[in-house]
């Protein structure tokens, strides 16, 4: 391959120009690079409107960075990537590796189609600091529990951010107009790489100092709010890790980033867990079938203030605080006895940061059928969780207007319930016992 022959950089979950290993590799092979994005119906049909709207915004931001030279096509990648590469006489197609279940199948198909035309397929890096599948036990088997994975992940380490790349972006031979974002009622974050970096630098200058203490407080602005940007690769986790020091907040954030990498690693080794129980004993679990209960949970009308605040935040912002995600998930699975995958689908429909590995495996962690070593005894009490993590009731009052007249932490245990706010739909103490009994049935069977 000569540096005169152009190459294609196919953007997927890496919608940025900075710290981009695949772009750097492409620049080493050629000074002429075509920037390509494929609107793939297989992925778009699985994505909720908030995520699609944010994606379209990120594509517009990337196109602006490229001076209007992002080629956007619509169709089957195995056809469209080959067509784009042949149209410019490309010697290779460069990508950030996709280790998700669909991405692996799609990329194998595209690489095969390119090979038939003598075009190289080059994978460099991934959306993770450590590509899924790289961190394994000494015997080569995958980790099943987070804590030893975390130790091994830290010991393994990751590269420094990729150097800036200088290329001449090839004018697209043809291109679709980037679609207008679908209408959504949720208020979404500003899209794009610069927006991601602005959010990150504001966090470094502010909330990082108290992140270890405040990250579980939904009433405070104590988290990074970077999950939508990480989802689409507007910023790489390697960029974040390079900026972290040895402070307590930095250590806590490294651990949270590792959770994201652990779930991606689990899905790499066990792709079926995107839809099936990690722990197969839970295939025998008894679930209720109560559409009305599910709809009340979706609408934030359960009568449990912290649960309802979280579900309404999801609808209003396409995002929910992580602590509250665990509380509402526990309520669905262990108080309403509905299957985890129904909640996971609802989240993926509404979350702007919806990520298959993180979403599905976090739901399984809460449900008890995932990777945790002692899972099913953990049943979140929505009353005590609210009192502990929203101690002044500010989070609840922000998202549940019916309760704004209730002062302080009294908002969590309502003695004088406003008429507009529903009574608790279940008794938590009773449903906890039901859940434990059902878990006991499957865990004691041989």
Place of tokens 């932490």: 409
Cα torsion 326, 331, 337, 340: sign? negative
**Binding site: what residues are annotated?**
211, 223-227, 353-355
Contact 37, 70 (CB under 8 A): yes
**Binding site for FAD: what residues are annotated?**
211, 223-227, 353-355
Helix ranges, 144-244 (H):
146-156, 193-205, 211-214, 227-232, 237-242
303 vs 297: CA distance, rounded Å: 9
Q: Which two tokens stand for residue 402?
A: 């019916």
Residues in Cβ contact with 311 at an 8 Å cutoff, skipping those fewer than 6 apart: 297, 298, 299, 300, 302, 320, 328
Burial class (CB in 10 A: 0-12, 13-18, 19+), 269: middle
421 vs 303: CA distance, rounded Å: 7
The residue among 282, 325, 291 whose CA lies nearest residue 441 is: 282
Contact 270, 278 (CB under 8 A): yes
């Amino acid at each position: 391959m000569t540096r005169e022959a152009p190459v294609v950089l196919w953007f997927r979950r890496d919608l940025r120009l900075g710290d981009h290993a695949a772009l750097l590799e492409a620049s080493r092979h050629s000074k002429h690079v075509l920037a390509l994005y494929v609107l793939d119906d297989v992925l778009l049909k699985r994505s909720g409107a908030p995520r699609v709207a944010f994606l379209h915004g990120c594509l517009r931001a990337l196109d602006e960075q490229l001076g209007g030279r992002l080629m956007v096509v619509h169709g089957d990648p195995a056809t469209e990537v080959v067509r784009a590469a042949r149209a410019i006489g490309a010697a290779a197609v460069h990508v950030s590796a996709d280790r998700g279940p669909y991405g692996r199948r799609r990329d194998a198909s595209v690489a095969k189609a390119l090979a038939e035309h003598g075009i190289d397929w080059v994978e460099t890096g991934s959306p993770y600091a450590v590509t899924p599948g790289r961190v394994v036990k000494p015997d080569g088997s995958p980790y099943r529990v987070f804590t030893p994975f975390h130790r091994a992940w830290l010991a393994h380490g990751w590269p420094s951010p990729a150097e800036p790349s200088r290329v001449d972006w090839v004018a697209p031979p043809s291109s679709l107009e980037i679609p207008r974002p679908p209408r959504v009622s949720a208020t979404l974050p500003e899209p794009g790489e610069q927006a991601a970096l602005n959010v990150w630098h504001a966090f470094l200058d502010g909330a990082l100092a108290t992140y270890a203490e405040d990250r579980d407080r939904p009433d405070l602005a104590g988290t990074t709010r970077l999950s939508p940007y990480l989802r689409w690769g507007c910023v790489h986790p390697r960029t974040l890790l390079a900026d972290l020091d040895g402070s307590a907040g930095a250590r806590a954030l490294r651990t949270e980033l590792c959770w994201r990498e652990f779930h991606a690693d689990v899905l790499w080794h066990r792709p079926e867990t995107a839809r099936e129980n990690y722990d197969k004993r839970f295939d025998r679990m008894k679930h209720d079938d109560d559409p009305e209960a599910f709809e009340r949970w979706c609408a934030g009308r359960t009568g449990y203030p912290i649960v309802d605040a979280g579900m309404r935040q999801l609808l209003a912002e396409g995002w929910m605080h992580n602590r509250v995600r665990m509380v509402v998930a526990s309520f669905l699975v262990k108080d309403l006895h509905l299957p985890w995958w129904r909640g996971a689908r609802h989240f993926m429909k509404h979350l702007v940061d919806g990520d298959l590995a993180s979403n599905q495996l976090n739901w399984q962690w809460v449900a008890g059928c995932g990777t945790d070593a002692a899972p099913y005894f953990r049943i979140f009490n929505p009353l005590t969780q609210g009192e502990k993590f929203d101690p002044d009731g500010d989070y609840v009052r922000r998202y549940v207007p019916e309760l704004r007249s209730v002062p302080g932490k009294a908002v969590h245990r309502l003695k004088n319930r406003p008429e507009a706010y529903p009574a608790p739909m279940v008794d938590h103490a009773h449903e906890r016992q039901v859940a434990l009994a059902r878990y006991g049935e499957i865990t004691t069977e041989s």
